[in-house]
């Protein structure tokens, strides 16, 4: 009795640092070979990270799983062959090699990754506003206090004026790393 083939997620191993190139190669092969009905999505698990160098804010992408891609596909012999033989692919996770097809990743695990990437994101309610005094809970300014001068609800970050080297310096801090200081009255006009 033949197993019913269905759309599932698999983890593909690639050379570290080549994930985006492998994704492009695989997507090109899917189109040229007409496999859109068995290979659906190729995901590089990347998130945007803000770093500060020389007092300058730099946006970078950070790969959560270096050397791996998520591929949503129906595991037909042809689709399996195309993925395995794409330049830069070194194999599937969950396969013993020796011609054995891999096991799929559970939908719960994929949902957790997609959630982390912001695809299933939920926004956090905050109890502070511009002008409030807050304490920083984590990071380089941990335990420092400062006043909120701007808020970005989309990024869930607040710009805080923090005393650094005897100067007030603006710094962006995630809402989750802040707590309101009770009993503070805004005296600035």
Residue 67 in tokens = 């050397």
Q: What is the pLDDT of residue 189?
A: 44
Question: What are the pLDDT digits (tens) for 129-175?
Answer: 899 999 999 888 899 999 999 998 777 889 999 988 889 999 999 88
Domain final residue, candidates 116, 143, 165: 116
68 and 22 in a single domain? The answer is: yes
Q: Is 85 helix (H, G, I), strand (E, B) or coil?
A: coil
Cβ atoms of 47 and 62 within 8 Å: the answer is: yes
Angstrom distance (rounded) from CA 158 to CA 173:
5
Q: Is residue 29 part of a domain?
A: yes
16 and 42 share a domain? yes
Report the run of H or E that residue 107 belongs to, with start and end: helix 107-116
Q: What is the pLDDT of residue 182?
A: 78
For the chain, list residues with pLDDT below 50.
1-2, 120-123, 189
The predicted structure's pLDDT at residue 116: 78
Asked if 111 and 19 sit in the same domain, the reply is: yes
Domain shared by 96 and 146, yes or no = no
Q: Are residues 20 and 85 in the same domain?
A: yes
Domain assignment present for residue 170? The answer is: yes
For residue 55, what pLDDT is reported?
A: 73
Cα 152 to Cα 150: distance, rounded to the nearest angstrom = 7
| pLDDT for 122 | 44
Which residues, 6 or more positions from 83, have their beta carbon under 8 angstroms from its beta carbon? 10, 12, 26, 39, 71, 73, 89, 92
User: Are residues 44 and 19 in contact, defined by beta-carbon separation less than 8 angstroms?
Assistant: yes
Does residue 1 lie in a domain region? no
**Would residue 126 count as lying in a domain?**
no
- pLDDT the model gives residue 121: 43
Helices 77-84 + 19-32 axis angle, to 10: 140
Total structural domains in the chain?
Answer: 2
Q: For residue 146, what are the domain limits?
A: 133-180
pLDDT for residue 185: 56
What CATH code is carried by the domain that includes residue 101?
3.30.70.940
Residue 119 confidence (pLDDT): 56
Q: Are 147 and 104 contained in the same domain?
A: no
Q: What is the pLDDT of residue 157?
A: 87
Give the global pTM: 0.58
Which residue among 86, 116, 146 closes a domain?
A: 116
């Amino acid at each position: 009795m033949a197993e019913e083939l269905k759309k599932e997620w698999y983890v593909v191993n690639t050379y570290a640092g080549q994930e985006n190139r492998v994704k492009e190669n695989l997507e090109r092969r899917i189109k040229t070979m007409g496999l859109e009905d068995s290979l659906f999505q190729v995901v590089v698990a990347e998130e945007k990270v803000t770093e500060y160098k020389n007092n300058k804010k730099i946006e970078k992408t950070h790969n959560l799983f270096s050397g791996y891609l998520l591929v949503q596909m129906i595991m037909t012999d042809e689709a399996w062959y195309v993925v395995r033989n794409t330049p830069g692919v070194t194999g599937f996770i969950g396969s013993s090699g020796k011609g054995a097809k891999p096991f799929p990743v559970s939908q719960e695990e994929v949902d957790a990754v997609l959630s982390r990437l912001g695809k299933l994101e939920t926004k956090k309610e905050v109890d502070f506003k511009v002008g409030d005094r807050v304490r920083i809970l984590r990071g380089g300014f941990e335990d420092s206090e400062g006043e909120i001068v701007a808020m970005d609800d989309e990024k869930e970050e607040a710009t805080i004026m923090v005393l650094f080297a005897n100067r007030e310096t603006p710094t962006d801090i995630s809402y989750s790393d802040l707590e309101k200081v009770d009993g503070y009255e805004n005296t600035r006009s």
